């Protein structure tokens, strides 16, 4: 099923615009009900008789009651279509995450063995969830993608990278967000992230939705679309360590996807990514903190280590950000294994501190999860 994101606003003047990834359209917003902030009655004094105040006279509303009434008239529940769901209670709500920032070479077998060693080290340090970088088994280039691509659906014999991930997840009893590798499916190539559970089974597969096509003259030009095909579905997956949304690198620039994941009840979004030396210093940390604080959830990113001699030089700086936008752990550009703690009770705390879900204006705007809407 094809899935698209739609951001609707009652104030948009233009007709619907559609693309293979995003669609904007106009939907009439629910009409607002008239309301008042407070109801006032005459001030009562000790000399006044109770007969002056018949039972039918409105009583004074407290500020909190008035605000609640005002919020309900804004239809916050209609700001998400379908209605947002609450995060589930995972088997493990407090755990360690491992982010493996690895140097990638032209030797595929070496890359696979090196990634396995890093996952094992992270697990030894207590990580129950381990994340690998974007394109960790191959150099990041349009020339390399077809050469290093694996047919994941054909089984482990055709995909040594995912075979390793499955085996190590099963042996170590951990969940692995397998970064991404070039995937071959028929005559198409994808940038694909596989998620494996503690039983070694493939729990989810996310194909990069937004392809990295940029042109900054004198700095960097790259067109993933020369070789890769865009994925067609957002991905959330229920694991032992919570409900996780998956994005790959450029996906992080599109706030609609993160908003959609939050509305689906995601507690953590993982973005394997390889930002470059131009956009990395400016946007990498900024985007992670924005996605986390806007949606009041955890965001984890994992980059390849920097190789100055490579055709594409990664920024590095793999990071974990908390639901208040705080940097919980990060590193520089060299190889590193980051171990940090995630505690989902912090999500509830921050959503109590700032009750954004109850303050949205469903009378003015809506985010539509087309995939969920079409499945109902």
Render each residue's pLDDT in the chain as its tens digit; 376 residues.
444 444 444 444 443 333 333 333 334 444 444 443 333 334 443 334 343 334 444 444 455 555 556 667 899 999 999 999 998 899 999 999 999 999 999 999 999 999 999 999 999 999 999 999 999 999 999 999 999 999 999 999 999 999 999 999 999 999 999 999 999 999 999 999 999 999 999 999 999 999 999 999 999 999 999 999 999 999 999 999 999 999 999 999 999 999 999 999 999 999 999 999 999 999 999 999 999 999 999 999 999 999 999 999 999 999 999 999 999 999 999 999 999 999 999 999 999 999 999 999 999 999 999 999 999 8
Q: How far apart are CA 251 and CA 4, in angstroms?
A: 13
Helix then strand then coil, in percent of the chain rounded to 5, is 30, 25, 45
Whether 57 is in a domain gets the answer no
Is residue 293 assigned to a domain? yes
* 364 falls within a domain: yes
Examine residue 167 and state whether it is found in any structural domain, yes or no.
yes
Which residues form the domain of 291? 95-374
Residue 8 lies in a domain: no
User: Would you call 246 exposed, middle or buried from its count of C-beta atoms within 10 A (0-12, 13-18, 19+)?
Assistant: buried
Report yes or no on 40 lying in a domain: no
Quick one: which of 222, 230, 228 has its CA closest to 247? 230
* 183-207: burial string, b at 16+ Cβ within 10 Å, e else: bbeeeebbbbbbbbbbebebbbbbb
Residues with a catalytic annotation lie at 134, 208, 249
pLDDT at 19: 36
What gap in Å lies between CA 70 and CA 37, rounded to an integer?
Answer: 7
Number of domains in the chain: 1
pLDDT of residue 51: 38
The CATH number that applies at residue 292 is: 3.60.110.10
The whole-number pLDDT of residue 73 equals 85
Handedness of CA 121, 287, 141, 1 (dihedral sign): positive
Residue 34 in domain: no
80 belongs to a structural domain:
no
Torsions phi, psi for 24 (to 5 deg): -115, 140
């Amino acid at each position: 099923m094809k899935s698209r994101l739609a951001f609707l606003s009652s104030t948009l003047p233009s007709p619907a615009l559609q693309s293979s990834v995003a669609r904007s359209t106009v939907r009439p917003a629910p009409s607002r009900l008239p309301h008042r902030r407070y109801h006032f009655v005459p001030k009562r004094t000790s000399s006044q008789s109770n007969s002056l105040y018949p039972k039918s006279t409105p009583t004074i509303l407290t500020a909190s009651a008035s605000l609640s009434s005002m919020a309900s008239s804004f239809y916050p529940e209609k700001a998400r279509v379908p209605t947002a769901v609450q995060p589930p209670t995972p088997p493990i709500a407090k755990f360690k995450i491992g982010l493996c920032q690895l140097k990638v070479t032209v030797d595929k077998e070496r890359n696979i063995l090196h990634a396995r060693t890093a996952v094992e080290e992270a697990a030894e340090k207590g990580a129950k969830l381990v994340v690998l970088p974007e394109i960790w088994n191959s150099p990041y280039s349009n020339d390399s993608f077809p050469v290093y691509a694996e047919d994941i659906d054909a089984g482990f014999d055709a995909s040594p990278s995912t075979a390793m991930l499955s085996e190590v997840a099963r042996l170590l009893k951990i969940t692995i967000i397998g970064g991404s590798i070039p995937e071959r499916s028929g005559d198409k190539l994808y940038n694909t992230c596989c998620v494996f559970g503690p039983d070694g089974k493939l729990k989810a597969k996310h194909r990069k939705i937004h392809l990295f096509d940029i042109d900054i003259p004198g700095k960097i030009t790259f067109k993933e679309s020369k070789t890769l095909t865009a994925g067609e579905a957002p991905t959330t997956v229920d694991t032992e360590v919570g409900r996780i949304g998956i994005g790959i690198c450029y996906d992080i620039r599109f706030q609609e996807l993160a908003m959609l994941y939050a509305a689906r009840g995601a507690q953590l979004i993982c973005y394997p990514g390889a930002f470059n030396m131009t956009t990395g210093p400016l946007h990498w940390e900024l985007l992670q903190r924005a996605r986390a604080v806007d949606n009041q959830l955890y965001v984890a990113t994992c980059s390849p280590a920097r190789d100055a001699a490579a055709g594409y030089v990664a920024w590095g700086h793999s990071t974990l950000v908390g639901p208040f936008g705080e940097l919980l752990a990060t590193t520089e550009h060299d190889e590193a294994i980051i171990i940090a703690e995630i505690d989902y009770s912090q999500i509830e705390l921050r959503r109590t501190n700032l009750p954004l879900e109850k303050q949205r204006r469903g009378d003015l705007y809506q985010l539509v999860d087309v995939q969920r809407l079409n499945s109902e």
